[in-house]
């Protein structure tokens, strides 16, 4: 597993986003052992980058859509 910091996310579109800052990392690897630790708060799964757009469209998260539009969509 490799990790690379690729950006900082600062979205001020809502009161919650105004007081939060996000670090955007690109993780590369193929380990099936990756999992969510806070399963009571979130869920997730590994998907290929070509399939990621469909997952993002369903996401309620503003940050996920921003990261996809500004970074991940350019990797496809």
The DSSP 8-state label assigned to residue 72 in this structure reads G
User: How far does CA 40 lie from the centroid of its chain?
Assistant: 18
- The domain of 34 spans 2-74
Domain count for the chain:
1
Phi, psi of 22 (to 5 degrees): -115, 145
50-74 per-position pLDDT tens digit: 888 888 888 888 999 999 999 999 9
8-64 per-position pLDDT tens digit: 999 999 999 999 999 999 988 777 777 888 899 888 888 888 888 888 888 888 999
pLDDT of residue 49: 83
pLDDT of residue 12: 94
């Amino acid at each position: 597993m490799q990790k690379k910091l690729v950006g900082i996310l600062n979205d001020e579109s809502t009161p919650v986003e105004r007081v939060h800052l996000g670090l955007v990392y690109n993780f590369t690897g193929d380990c099936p052992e990756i999992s969510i630790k806070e399963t009571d708060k979130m869920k997730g799964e590994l998907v290929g980058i070509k399939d990621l757009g469909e997952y993002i469209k369903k996401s309620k998260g503003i940050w996920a859509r921003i990261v996809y539009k500004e970074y991940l969509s350019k990797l496809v």
